[in-house]
Amino acid sequence: MRKYIEIFKSQLQLDAAYNGWFWANAVASVIGLLIAFSFWHAVYRHTTQIANMNLPKMISYVVIAMILGNYVSGVGNRLSESIRSGEVAIELMKPYDLLLKLIWLDLGSKVSASVRNSLPLLVIGYAFLGVQAPVSLAGGALFAVSAILGVLIGTQFDLIIGVLAFWTVNVWGLRVLRTGILSIFTGALIPVTLFPAWLLRISEVLPFQSMVYTPVAIYTGAIPFQAVGMTLLIQTIWLIGLYVLVRLIWSVALRKVVIFGG
Amino acid sequence: MTVWRYARLYLEFVKQVLKVWLEYRVDFFIGALSTIVIQFASLLFVTVVFEHIQQLNGWSFYQILFIYGIAATGRSIHLIFFDNLWTLGWQYIRTGNFDRLLIRPINPLFHLIADRIQQDGVGQLAIGLVVLIVAATHDGTVWTPASLLLLILLILSSGVIFSAVNLFFATLSFWMVDSLPVMFATFSLSDFARYPLTIYNKGIRVLLTWIIPYGFTAFYPAASILEPAKFGLMALITPLVAAICSVLAYLFWNVGLRAYTSTGN
Amino acid sequence: MIRVEHLSKEYKIARRKPGLRGAAQNLFHRTYDTKAAVSDVSFSIDQGEMVGYIGANGAGKSTTIKMLCGILTPTAGEVRVAGIVPYKQRQRNARNIGAVFGQRTQLFWDIPARESFNLLKHIYQIPQHRFDENLRTFSDVLELEPLFGRPVRQMSLGEKMRCELAAAFLQDPLVVYLDEPTIGLDVSVKARIRKFIREMNRNRKTTVILTTHDMQDIEEICSRLIMIDAGRLLYDGDLRSVRQRFGNRRTIHFDLATTATDTAMPAQLAPWVFAEWEGREKVHIQFDARQTSASDVIAAMMQSYAVRDLTITDPSIESIVKDIYERGLS
């Protein structure tokens, strides 16, 4: 059923008559918030600290991470659809760089999503769930920078999955696989610091925690101020690395298009 | 007899679907695998949290897993067999294909449901069963043939409740052409049912017990087995809720169908 | 076989007010416009008749067919198909009918045609020997054999339509409704399909109701015409009188190379033709082939105008309906 919803949404995104989905998504998001809120309250009933986080801090983490987690998906879907339908051949003849176009489209829709989806969640979080403000003004600013880096990393990763449509037929399976991996390793569900040691080690060498965990940890102050510079650097390196990787795969894929004639 | 005839007809539909699955083995495999990955992610979440705590509101790790397992298997029944309800609006009514079902000499709802059997649900069924077995052998419950039978009945009821609620909201498509967003929003309520209802505030508990009874898809049936002293009655009520939901949803479906045949599309 | 008495169908269309405020108002207070899709239509069709049910788009054809199938409930009037009121006993009626609805498939999208037929066998409870026999007969005329292994989604339009027809006749229906069965097909497939329909009717006395925009379909299949316009019955009678009137009707479409300064017809044509200008560079000229010939019309036009291109067509259903509507059939 998730498949249909995805297909349907990707179709609907094309036209503006999107109202029903806006409300449906809003309801689903609020429900997600309420579940997380109740769950963590129950968790903290018999303990005050988990991995150095108290309840208010954990709630702040979970809510902000949930909001940021909505940004990790992107235009990869559109790319893979146009590859599958062969439309990509027409796109390639147009006088712009398709990848850059997609990245900008992606950012555009994310900006509008932040007003439509994130803002209401943030308001609910602050007003009713006890989400704390960032540790300091500077912390808030650094969070913003880190969050933007994280969103950009997410976009690149999504494009990688999208380009793979050149090689696989079952794009849908790949996307679900992606969703599974992201929900574990980005830290959108749970701070990676709660992971058992072996899992934490895996997470640390992967780019995913840069998408959500890093910015939100800066927000909650879990990453100390002196260390923020280093984490931002790591995020930047991942961003550049993934961008280069996308370009690389893309150029290989293009050769394939040229050979098979689309 | 009609029931017998429909059962045989359903088997014929299933045969066809299996042939299609065999033809697209890789798709089937990827579909099942990917749902397993999704399930695995949320299981990992619970496991990681329980690294840091002993109990959640009085429920142990394996008890939580047990609830989760019932939710997953019940939902998989719905996903495998009743998945086509999701497509009523945009695949049947919007395109006019629903008329095809109406000129057949069989019940259109049966036809709609039999038209598709969804492979992705198989992965969820598999992981749900594994979780159930692991949980049931660790949570301290003493299992008897009778209680196992009860468990099966409760899981079937869970699947029926999922499907009946969905049928109810899918039926709205007869008036609004496509009720998929409404179905989606309602279905997301079922995520509440993965944890003990006792962790939620009263409003949510009332909603999930009396209005959209997702509480009976996992928590209440699980609790009736885990805590028979306190929740034993729920073992009786759950199948009853399933029956009532089905009847109400089917009556509503018939109202929708009548509206459809009087307004057309 | 089919009796339709004073059949009417009105649709209620909610009048939507624009904007957010309008949407909110619509929630509480809706105003409806009623649109009569079919008004007071009566006819009866005997077993074994082949009837062309024609009219312009939106005339109420498919609304009528839907009511005959039981998909729609009439606002007023009565329908009986083989003694059954379709919308009251939809499933019983479904046993007696077969249908091809233009572009929509009656088959199962993903599974091979043979399996699709097989499922239909179970759905309609067709006895095995009838099923085998029918499939064999149909395969001969429609050449289905090579299609058996393929699912509908991989078929061309013509291949699909051949399978659709087989599916519609598979359960030995008493009545078959065919909605645009030849639309978009090439000439040889059209011929094959028409032949199939005629044979079914001859051998099995199947009643056929055909809606189409293709005059050729009607000429080759139907013996009777029912014409509907704006929901009202316009003509019900044999094809012969319509053919006498319109069989010699021709239309020539001229594309002019230059903009015409004068839209009056050349004097030698004027008494015989009816001209319809589309802007000043296109003109459609209608005439009766018994009164003047195509070559005369073309010659006269070439003299008066710089003609760039021309095509000759038979009259369209729309023009016939319009003509009968305006002038009657005398």
Query: Is the Cβ pair B34, A176 closer than 8 Å?
Result: yes
ipTM associated with this complex = 0.87
pLDDT at res. C106:
81
Mean pLDDT of C284-301: 86
Query: Is the Cβ pair C122, B100 closer than 8 Å?
Result: no
Query: Is the Cβ pair B8, C122 closer than 8 Å?
Result: yes
Q: Is C109 within 8 Å of C160 (Cβ atoms)?
A: no
Window B:67-106, CB contacts with C under 8 Å: 95-97, 99-100, 102-106
What is the three-class DSSP state of B149? helix
Determine the distance in angstroms separating the CA of C276 from the nearest CA of chain B, rounded to an integer.
Answer: 36
DSSP state of A53: B
Query: Is the Cβ pair A1, B189 closer than 8 Å?
Result: no
Residue A233, both tokens? 């650097």
Q: Is B145 within 8 Å of B65 (Cβ atoms)?
A: no
Local confidence band at C330 (pLDDT 50, 70, 90 cut-offs) = low
User: Quick count: other Cβ atoms within 10 Å of Cβ B6?
Assistant: 14
Determine the distance in angstroms separating the CA of B253 from the nearest CA of chain C, rounded to an integer.
Answer: 16
- pLDDT for A127-165, tens place per residue? 999 899 887 888 899 999 999 999 999 989 988 888 888
pLDDT at res. C31:
72
Is C91 touching B (CB cutoff 8 A)?
Answer: yes
| Domain extent listing, chain C | 45-244, 248-313
Residue B22: which of C146, C107, C112 has the closest Cα?
A: C112
Q: Is C101 within 8 Å of C23 (Cβ atoms)?
A: no
Q: Is A250 within 8 Å of A163 (Cβ atoms)?
A: yes
Determine the distance in angstroms separating the CA of C152 from the nearest CA of chain B, rounded to an integer.
Answer: 13
Query: C87: which chain B residues are within 8 Å (Cβ-Cβ)?
Result: 261
Is B13 touching C (CB cutoff 8 A)?
Answer: yes
What are the backbone dihedrals phi and psi of residue C253, each rounded to the nearest 5 degrees, phi first? -100, 120
Query: Is the Cβ pair A35, B37 closer than 8 Å?
Result: no
Chains near C, with 3+ CB pairs < 8 A?
B
- pLDDT for B58-93, tens place per residue? 999 999 999 999 999 999 999 999 999 999 998 899
Query: Is the Cβ pair C106, B8 closer than 8 Å?
Result: no
Cα distances (Å, whole numbers) of residue C213 to B28, C102, C314: 44, 12, 12
Least CA distance to B14: which residue of chain C?
A: C119
Q: Which residues of chain A have pLDDT under 50?
A: 11-12, 14-17, 261-262
pLDDT above 90: residue C316 = no
pLDDT above 90: residue C46 = yes
Query: A179: which chain B residues are within 8 Å (Cβ-Cβ)?
Result: 37-38
The CATH number given to C45-244 is 3.40.50.300
Least CA distance to B26: which residue of chain A?
A: A170
pLDDT at res. A94:
75
Query: B43: which chain A residues are within 8 Å (Cβ-Cβ)?
Result: none
User: Among the CATH numbers 3.30.450, 3.30.70, 3.40.50, 2.60.40, which is that of C248-313?
Assistant: 3.30.70
| pLDDT digit string (tens) for chain B, length 265 residues | 688 999 999 999 998 888 777 777 777 777 777 778 888 888 999 999 999 999 998 999 999 999 999 999 999 999 999 999 999 998 899 888 899 899 999 999 999 999 888 877 888 899 999 999 999 998 778 889 999 999 999 999 999 999 999 999 999 999 887 888 889 999 999 989 889 999 999 999 999 999 999 999 999 999 999 999 999 899 999 999 999 999 999 999 999 999 998 876 5
- Cα A177 from Cα B37, distance rounded (Å): 6
Determine the distance in angstroms separating the CA of C2 from the nearest CA of chain B, rounded to an integer.
Answer: 17
Query: A183: which chain B residues are within 8 Å (Cβ-Cβ)?
Result: 38, 41-42
Query: B49: which chain A residues are within 8 Å (Cβ-Cβ)?
Result: 43, 190, 194
| Domain extent listing, chain B | 2-263
What is the three-class DSSP state of C227? strand
Residue A205, C-beta contacts closer than 8 angstroms, at least 6 positions apart: none
